[in-house]
Structure 1
Amino acid sequence: MQFKFFAAPWLGNPVVRQTIRLLVSVGLCGFVAWLTNLQEPGWALITSVIVTQSSITETLSSGRYQLVGTLIGAAASILPITLLLYHWPLWRAFAVAFVPLAVLASWKPGTRMSVVTLMIATLFATPNDPYLLPIERVLSILMGVGVSMLVTYVVLHEQARRDAFRNAAATVRQSVAMLTHARSHAMSWSDIQDLNDAGIASLRKVQTAVEEARREHWRPLEKRDPMLAALPKALRQLQTDALVVTRAVLLAENPPPDGQDNATAPLNPGLMRAFDWIIERCEGEAVARTGEEYRVAAGVITALPEDTAQDDEIMRFVMGVLRTDLKTLIQLLAQDDTRQA
């Protein structure tokens, strides 16, 4: 059962959600550091701030870089610490490990934390037990990364699905805009391409959100949310169809008069109803995961124009492809998969 607090509309603000994640991460990390009596809890807190990102994908990436870099730096610091015990000059012993790590960090920027760990373990070594500081550093990083991962997975992480469907609606709107301007011949092909680029940008956001959703749960996305899993492919095909139809309309010698209601027009009432239904359905799924009566979708599909209504052979072909992919997307969005959540 969900608490009303966690269903509050203001939690949809990404800044608010990330602020709550960050506060919880730092607070929980501080509590664990106090509970385990960690000697230097500050590094664990700093790590939790750095690693806790707005998405699971970014958190995993940041945590991996922090952990790998720290392990490399801690391992490399053993050499200069040992040399110091044999009375080597500090900066000479430090340079022996620092130079190769600097080369590594320049080649692989994700390992830059190794240089920081080396500096801390070598330049601020504990007199009584110099090998203790690298171990403490690794434990602090492990604690910060672990807590950040836990918080990112548990606290307010159900945003990816909403982002995917919200951007899906934006992608379809760009397709409708292309077809609308093509019908009236009000824009040049270069301007149409700008609209298409905006649609591609929205589609990329859909794909990114779907990849994020894959990491939100241990169950495969295809089993727990088949609609979301298949959404990017269906959208990508529909956007391609819209661009092809737009180009065909712009190249047509005798474009239909503005306002004419026939099946040749790119946005006749049947097609417009289909696009509106898709946008409304995506926006609905962006708010809450709900089922949809299939008979409503069936009515939308039935209203789509027949391919035989096209006089021009090229238009008949491209509109037929558009109609087929529209039907596929409508059938996808008409699935009631709420029980699989």
Structure 2
Amino acid sequence: MASLFARWRADTTVRQTVRLLSAVGLAAFVAWLINLQEPGWALITSVIVTQNSITDTISKGRDQLVGTLIGASVSIVPITLIAVLHWPLWIAFTLAFVPLAVLVSWKPEARMGVVTLMIAILFPTNNSPYLQPVERVLAILIGVGVSTVVTYVVLHEQARRDAFRSAAQTVRQIVDMLQKARSRDVGWPQIQDMNDDCAASLRKVQAALEEARREHWRPLEARDPMLARLPQGLRQLQIDALVVARALLSLPDGAVAIDPQEVATIRAGMQRGFGWIIERCESEAVARTGEDRRVAAGVISALPSLSATGDPTIRFLVGILLADLKQLIGLLGDDDTERPAPDPT
């Protein structure tokens, strides 16, 4: 049951459906509670603003709110011209619409101002014409406020899981790239394509991290330093893997990259290190469970050391890769190999 619930939470479609239904329902309740004359605009706004991420929801909500406030403010001019000076409707509307259209062409995010102006002027009401833009602003406030609250509260802290899930995928792609280069089954263009896929997964990690920064008022570095430093460690590992792959493909046929007797040891140690990182990220993608530091220390101690035989360039690059691999394992496991032993007294 727990695994089923975890898969349910991980499904983007399910999460967004729950958020959207919650936003629309709450917006309808608030609009009914304050007796809003046109509650439909609040519901429409909640549908538009509620996005998959907090970042996108805030951006959409800001654009909706700013545009509506601009349109409501501008609409006061034609309303006054029509109601007080008895100007023809279309002349008064055009006088306000033209400069607003210029503004929207310059700042497309303010396009809701045009919609608000049209609603306030072109849709008649039995109440005071000045209430139309006020009602519109209230409806937008309700829709934006409800969507923001729902995005923060409903299925909260999913960004962390998404970050570690994408991190596991990134490491798999790094391993695949190294294996293809070592066996020389592909050429450099194919390695570049694989690196592009790896970079795309890494961008997902960074995007999820930025989303996680918005989920709490406390800085991410203070409440989750492992997640805050994760993209940097992955990026360095990706760069190392690409350079090593390039060097392996550039070796002339018959050249010895590393002493053949060491190859099996190096391969086994690195496979264990990469495999541990993948498992660690996948476990954090399910729940924040923590890890015994001794486990990471054991994985690090099993990583091989290089001898002085073989191609010096390959040895140097593989040494850098191993060093960065060790650093990432230490980050994910909070390595305590260099910490002073506790005082028995």
TM above 0.5, yes or no, is yes
- Aligned CA distance change for structure 1 residues 4 and 279 (closer, same or farther; 3 Å): closer
Aligned equivalent of 2:36: 38
Q: Which SS does the other structure have where 2:136 is aligned?
A: helix
Aligned 8 A contact 2:296 2:334 in 1: no
* Pairing partner for 1:20 from 18, 21, 26: 18
Aligned equivalent of 1:236: 235
- Distance between the aligned counterparts of 1:219 and 1:256, measured in 2? 54
Identify which range, 67-76 or 293-302, moves more after superposition: 293-302
Aligned 8 A contact 1:77 1:118 in 2: yes
- Distance between the aligned counterparts of 2:180 and 2:309, measured in 1? 20
Aligned equivalent of 2:7: 9
Q: Which SS does the other structure have where 2:289 is aligned?
A: coil
Can you give the 5+ residue segments of structure 2 that lack an aligned partner in the other structure? Answer: 336-345
- Distance between the aligned counterparts of 2:165 and 2:254, measured in 1? 33
CA apart distance, 1:318: 0.8
CA apart distance, 1:266: 10
Which whole-Å deviations, capped at 9, do the CAs of 1:148-174 have from their partners, x for residues lacking one? 100100001221111101110111111
Q: Which SS does the other structure have where 1:67 is aligned?
A: helix
- Aligned CA distance change for structure 1 residues 123 and 240 (closer, same or farther; 3 Å): same
- Aligned CA distance change for structure 1 residues 177 and 160 (closer, same or farther; 3 Å): same
- Aligned CA distance change for structure 1 residues 262 and 144 (closer, same or farther; 3 Å): farther
- Distance between the aligned counterparts of 1:263 and 1:41, measured in 2? 72
Aligned 8 A contact 1:25 1:49 in 2: yes
CA apart distance, 1:125: 4.1
Identity of aligned residues (%): 66
CA apart distance, 1:10: 2.0
- Distance between the aligned counterparts of 1:219 and 1:178, measured in 2? 37
Q: Which SS does the other structure have where 2:111 is aligned?
A: helix
* Pairing partner for 1:83 from 78, 81, 89: 81
CA apart distance, 1:38: 1.1
- Distance between the aligned counterparts of 2:81 and 2:315, measured in 1? 80
TM-score, L = length of structure 2:
0.91
Aligned equivalent of 2:143: 144
- Distance between the aligned counterparts of 1:237 and 1:49, measured in 2? 40
Aligned 8 A contact 1:21 1:155 in 2: yes
CA apart distance, 1:178: 1.0
**Superposed counterparts of 1:94-113, under 5 Å:** 94-113=93-112
Aligned equivalent of 1:226: 225
1:64 aligns with 2:62: yes
CA apart distance, 1:217: 0.9
Can you give the 5+ residue segments of structure 1 that lack an aligned partner in the other structure? Answer: 337-341
CA apart distance, 1:287: 0.9
- Distance between the aligned counterparts of 1:151 and 1:244, measured in 2? 45
- Distance between the aligned counterparts of 2:28 and 2:121, measured in 1? 26
- Distance between the aligned counterparts of 2:235 and 2:172, measured in 1? 13
Aligned 8 A contact 2:256 2:310 in 1: no
Q: Which SS does the other structure have where 1:58 is aligned?
A: helix
